[in-house]
Amino acid sequence: MFHSFAWGGFEAASHVRADGVRVDTLQGSGHERWAMLDGAILRGLGVRTIREALRWHLVGEGRRDWSSAQAQVAAAHAHGLQVVWDICHWGVPAGMDVMAPDWPRSLADFAVDAAAMLQREGCEVAAFVPVNEISFWAWAGGEVAAFGPHLFGQGVALKRQLVAGHLAVTQALRATGSTAPIMVCEPLVWVLPASDSTEDLRAAFAFIQASHEAVDWILEADPAAIDVLGLNFYPHNQWKLEGERVGRGDAGWRPLASLLEDVAGRFALPIVLSETGAEEPMGDDWMEHVTREVTVAIRRGVPVEGVCVYPVADYPGWDNGRHCPCGPLGLREGLRFVRPGQAAAMRAMRPPPVAAAWR
């Protein structure tokens, strides 16, 4: 399905924070400037599939301005990289109301125009992600007002609207004859109860179930609206109900292979780890851990089709702008450098032979 098992993903958040600041991590990471160099480095590491995003707030409505995507598209074309494109990575044009009844149609129109542009430019599309991390956006933007649309206590309503957006994009792209796979990218989490009480056990279980709601709702509306299930998994994705983080080695930590088995048993879909990684100095250790766990999962029959190191390059944290060192592509004093350990991890990332059973 994809040209390489190891992927590189560029952090692309473009939302408006609670303090009114517009985030643009593609600019802050240097990828906007060094897309051609970044593509060359990744290709040299054996990567042929990458994850990028279009910045709707820069492209705009009406007469589209695609100049903000020019460097990304040119680099992918030059280096023979297929791209998983996020249509909406949390950011929308200024003044646009995500909760408006016609918002799903606006998103679908943007997706159709984007697909046409990419076809004109000869960019190979590996998949489209209509809406990045629906479940997280619903919480951050609809429940606690951490970013747009800055709502409190309306997480379920926002989640339903974002699901409607996904469905509208899928329908619109297919109406144009697009055969590109449709992917969702959702958090893979595990929540432990705060105590052994029945109430806490039920609450933890309900939280885990809620993390799958977006996928459930999409498939209930259209069983063919997801071709690939992307799962985002980081060191902080397991915690106790009251908020205390559970890390590797702590009591209650669920191995990644087991979590992947859970999801494979729930959804009969090809799976990719669409985001995974850790900040330095833990990056090398985390990628070694993920590689081991994914190998175990594949040997148990989980159809994992790829692993995306994400972010693959240093970036400014989208919640506070701090420098976040991660992945093989570092940024120091305004210059790009390569981290040997992370580079070696990407070169070594291969599926075990048993993967051929479902290919």
Kindly report the CATH number assigned to the domain that includes residue 275: 3.20.20.80
Please give the sequence-ordered ranges of beta strands (E in DSSP) within 172-281, or none if there are none. Answer: 183-187, 190-192, 228-232, 238-240, 271-276
Q: Is residue 1 part of a domain?
A: no
CA angle 10, 16, 18 (to 5 degrees): 125
Q: Are 39 and 55 in contact (CB under 8 A)?
A: no
Using one digit for the tens of pLDDT, what is the confidence trace for 271-296? 999 999 999 999 999 999 999 999 99
* Residue 358 pLDDT exceeds 80: no
**Residue 308 included in any domain:** yes
**Predicted model pTM:** 0.96
Cis, peptide link before residue 149, omega less than 30° from 0: yes
Sequence-separated (6 or more) residues with CB below 8 Å from residue 95: none
Other beta carbons within 10 angstroms of residue 245's beta carbon come to 11
Q: Would you say residue 324 lies in a domain?
A: yes
Which bin fits 321, alpha (ψ -120 to 50), beta or left (φ > 0)? left
Q: What average pLDDT does the chain have?
A: 96
The pLDDT assigned to 99 comes to 98
Residue 98 lies in a domain: yes
Q: Identify whether the C-beta of residue 57 lies closer than 8 Å to the C-beta of residue 22.
A: yes
For residue 47, the number of C-alpha atoms closer than 13 Å in the C-beta half-sphere is 28
pLDDT value at position 344? 96
Total structural domains in the chain?
Answer: 1
Give a yes or no: residue 309 inside a domain: yes
Q: Is the sign of the CA dihedral 296, 298, 304, 306 positive or negative? A: positive
Residues 6+ apart with CB under 8 A from 332: none
pLDDT band for position 1 (50/70/90)?
confident
Is residue 351 included in any domain, yes or no?
Answer: yes
C-alpha 247/C-alpha 286 separation (Å) is 12
Going by pLDDT thresholds of 50, 70 and 90, the confidence category of residue 353 is confident
DSSP strands (E only) in 64-155: 82-88, 125-131
Each residue's pLDDT tens digit, 77-97: 999 999 999 999 999 999 999
Provide the Cα torsion 34, 35, 40, 45; round to 10°: 100
| Residue 303 near residue 352, CB atoms below 8 Å | no
Q: How confident is the model at residue 200 (pLDDT cuts 50, 70, 90)?
A: very high
78 by DSSP, 3-state: which?
helix
pLDDT digits (tens, 9 = 90+) for 39-78: 999 999 999 999 999 999 999 999 999 999 999 999 999 9
Range of the domain at 152: 6-358
